[in-house]
A and B are shown apart, each in its own frame.
Chain A
Amino acid sequence: MDQPTTLSARDIPAFLEDNAITRVRVDGIQPDALPIGKVLHPRKFLSSLDGDFAVADFVYGTDRMGEPGFGFSADWRSRVVGDIYLRPDLATLRLDPAAAGLATCFADALDVNRNRVPVCGRGLVKHLTERLNGLGLTSKFAFEIEGHFFERSFGENRANGWTDMVPFGVDSHVAYLAQDHHRLDPVMTEICRRLDLLGVPWEAWNAEAAAGQFELNVSPDDPLSASDHVIRVRQVCKEVAHERGLSVTFMAKVSEDYGNGLHVHHSLLESDGLNTGEPVMYDPDGPDQISLIARQWLAGLMATLPGSTSFMAPNPNSFRRVVPFKAVPTHATWDIDNKSSAIRVLNGSASSARMEHRVGAGDLNPYFAAAIVLAGGIAGLEHELEPPPKFEFMAWGLPDTADSPARLPASVVAAAEALEADALLNDILGADLVTYWTGMRRFEWLSFNTGGGDGASDAPNAWEINRYFETL
């Protein structure tokens, strides 16, 4: 299967005909990271290449269960129910590896004036990438994707009321347990085969610490493509699990066992906007071998860390994984190669130097995660910020004393408040996004705590699993 490379609109008719395409699925990604779109007849797809096609604005403006979000005023949605427009991004057009005659592609959401819809993560990443290019830089991102497989299909587990679920794996709590790979191998091999065909550059996978848990790593790519890869990985995993009578989820915490994270590795390189140059995060003569650019970038990440939590941990379920000593940061710290830190700096050499933002939960929207990292870093560069001292200790189990690092927000509401209070992020992300996002986070919190979720318990109940399992 030869995937298209750099097709222009003029090349598309031949591409569709040569590959006997009978339909094209065009997906926009709404704020909760649900793929939203239509399956288009090739004729309709061709006509949309001149512009876009309409979908109701509320498909980008509901929660993950389809409830329109209410309770806030600043709103990108029309005053009544109107349309937004999805514009296919031809760079993402792919032949589907499993369904004959199907092509898929991602789309950006535009308003009636064809401006970027503020809650469209893809558009935001493009915007911030251009802003970074304006500083003479570009970036590479890679997400560490974690998920959980379960015995029985989605339908069977749903019919069972999401009770008595059986993890698809050894109940050992040992990460990288190769003993379990024989069970995962046929499933992951098929997933990776399809990812290869889709052009998703997967690097490695392994069993993770919880029963049925796995991690899949994808090679660094530009922030938009890296985010697209996460959506494709989630989709392919769902499809393969479905075909094999299994189920899979990327929800942050599906049981009291280890949860799913989505750490964001990233590095900076020189760029003139067209050509990518040398990596710039490493300086053998700099403090801790960190370059000035990287120090300012790091300072921006640290300054925006509390506010970034709202995007990195978007749901009440996200915060269930925030438990000390469970590989999740609880305090605003950075350090060199310290996995208890919120920001882990890896600076062994110029080519490998990078930072890992470790706050992200498995249920985040990857576009917003990339955007929040870009926004924080750009703020650090533009304001020439200086990072706080590194915290060279274990950053779990810390006392609440005046000289201890600050705790990260521990709830959806606390994270929303931190984002609202963050002048740097408000300036870069814009009030429209921040107001809508924090309004929707409070709506999610209210729906969770008054609809059937149990905020006082340590483990998710059936209502909570039903809300997040299948759509994550």
Chain B
Amino acid sequence: MLVETETDALPIVKVVAALFRRSLSVPGVASRTARVKGVAALKSATDPQAATFRLLGDRIEVERGVATDAAVVITADLNDSSVKPKVEGAARHPALALTVGKLLEPPIGPWRVETKRFMEAALKRSDCPKPIRVNVAGDATYEQYGGDGQPAIDIYGASDQLASSMAGSSLLIESVLAEDVSIIGDLRDLSTLTGYGIANLFGEL
């Protein structure tokens, strides 16, 4: 199923479209989505970010803002997934609300799967630092990408945190600043990987 965005899409539009594309690759989600038509929106509880998505059967269109014809509106703290979102219109449009909920939350795979997927895309870029070693904090588990030898950058984190960062659910720089992820490397390489992370978030890596 095609997911289309408006020209000059805002970040939230790109992120929502990327989440949808990932969810639609999960078996069963695309066929379920094809059966549901309607307009829904996601808006931030803390700032003006908002996106509207139109489920049209054969495709989904994503645009900025909350459209006046949105039947379901989800208000969420986009920076804190532990805060329960508020959903308006779910009682009258349960199928739409449920489908949109599934589309917005693609499953995150094990850290090795997500890291491999991210690194394979990253290493195709000419400016990618290499090698890169990704370590699970607290044990000796690690994977190295982009060759052998001394890593240009070492990334340490809990397996779920690594999976989240590599899947594009959080940005590496934000995880580092929050001390959820640690690195040994330099600012330039961190900047480069952050750029890849943003591209990943937008589905453009």
A: which residues have CB within 8 A of B? 68-75, 77, 79-81, 410-411, 413-414, 439, 445-446, 449-457, 461, 463
Contact = CB atoms under 8 A, between A and B. Distances in A.
Nearest to A464: B48
Interface string B164-182: 0000000001000000000
Interface string B49-85: 1100000000000001100000000000000000000
Given A79-B186, A80-B186, A81-B187, A71 B48 contact: no
The list of the 7 closest CB pairs from A to B, nearest first, reads A454-B48, A71-B195, A73-B127, A79-B186, A73-B192, A456-B65, A70-B194
A456 B192 contact: no
Contacts of B187: 68, 77, 79-81
B42 to A, nearest CB: 13
B191 A75 contact: yes
Interface in B136-187: 173, 186-187
- The residue among A445, A454, A455 with the most chain B CB atoms within 10 A of its own CB is A455
Contacts of A445: 11
A411 B8 contact: yes
A414 B49 CA distance: 20
B186 A450 contact: no
23 contacts: A70-B173, A70-B191, A71-B195, A71-B198, A73-B127, A73-B188, A73-B195, A75-B188, A79-B188, A411-B8, A414-B8, A445-B11, A446-B11, A449-B11, A449-B12, A449-B49, A452-B47, A453-B48, A455-B10, A455-B64, A456-B65, A457-B48, A461-B48
B29 interface: no
Contacts of A81: 187
A58 to B, nearest CB: 9
Interface string B1-23: 00000001011100000000000
Contact of B8 (A75, A410, A450): A410
Contacts of A453: 48
A289 B103 CA distance: 62
Nearest to B173: A70
Contact of B195 (A410, A439, A461): A439
Contacts of B194: 70-71
Contacts of B64: 455-456
A411 to B, nearest CB: 5
B123 interface: no
Contacts of A411: 8
Nearest to A68: B187
Contact of A456 (B50, B173, B190, B195): B50
A446 B190 CA distance: 17
A120 B13 CA distance: 34
A468 B191 CA distance: 25
A75 B194 CA distance: 14
Contacts of A75: 188, 191
B48 A72 contact: no
- The residue among B8, B188, B191, B195 with the most chain A CB atoms within 10 A of its own CB is B191
Contacts of A70: 173, 190-191, 194-195
Contacts of A72: 191-192, 195
A402 B194 CA distance: 39
A456 B8 contact: no
B47 A450 contact: yes
A360 B45 CA distance: 35
B67 to A, nearest CB: 11
Contacts of B47: 450-452, 463
Contacts of B191: 69-73, 75
- The residue among A79, A414, A456 with the most chain B CB atoms within 10 A of its own CB is A456
A451 B79 CA distance: 11
A457 B198 CA distance: 24
A18 B190 CA distance: 51
A62 B92 CA distance: 48
